[in-house]
Amino acid sequence: MTQGIGSAVNSQILQRLTSSTGVNSTLAALVGVGNAPPPVIDALQMRIQNVAPDLMERAETVSYPAVNIYCEKLANALTEKSRSFSGTARVAVEVRHSHDRLQCLQGALELFADAIAQTLSANRGDWGNGLYYAGVYEISYSPVKQGGRNFVQSAKITLEIGVSRN
């Protein structure tokens, strides 16, 4: 019944973040014209996977900022009785950033989190194939830890996607 819903939602979010009007375009707008060149999040730094930062660093070479997209929870509320699934998918977009200086970490992470949140907010509405995003999100920040280039911190943007499928 829920087969493929999480994957479909994750793919839709990844597609929106990596598009030409995606997160890099939003980063450029946030930094502003005439200022320092905007930071870039390469599409290769974005993945659909829920993996702990320390495990990811041990398994492969990581480029920062790293963005992980994953479905945390599916809730079939049966709001439409004729559908086999009508409810919500709770999705997390986690951005992890690393820096060798503690002073530079928080501001850069907040910039990346804002760019992702604004990109998602700009894509409110019907996503097709029974998916709908109302624009509501929540951002939570983790404390700074050792890792990456010396220090690593993450921000988790959580959103709910409405799902209506047979």
pLDDT in tens, 8-52: 999 999 999 999 899 988 988 888 755 666 677 777 789 999 888
CATH of the domain at 15: 3.30.70
In this prediction, residue 89 carries a pLDDT of 96
Return the higher-pLDDT residue of 139 and 146.
139
Structural domain total, the chain: 1
In this prediction, residue 33 carries a pLDDT of 58
Query: What is the rounded average pLDDT for all residues in the chain?
Result: 89
Inform me whether the pLDDT recorded for 1 exceeds 70. no
Whether the CB-CB separation of 158 and 141 falls below 8 Å is answered with no
pLDDT in tens, 104-142: 899 989 999 999 999 999 999 999 999 999 999 999 999
In this prediction, residue 18 carries a pLDDT of 92
Inform me whether the pLDDT recorded for 67 exceeds 80. yes
Residue 95 structural domain: 5-165
Own/partner long-range contacts of 126-133 (Cβ < 8 Å, ≥24 apart)? 127/12, 127/161, 129/8, 129/165, 130/163, 130/164, 130/165, 131/8, 131/9, 131/12, 131/161, 131/162, 131/163, 132/161, 132/162, 132/163, 132/164, 133/159, 133/161, 133/162
In this prediction, residue 37 carries a pLDDT of 60
Return the higher-pLDDT residue of 88 and 55.
88
pTM, entire model: 0.90
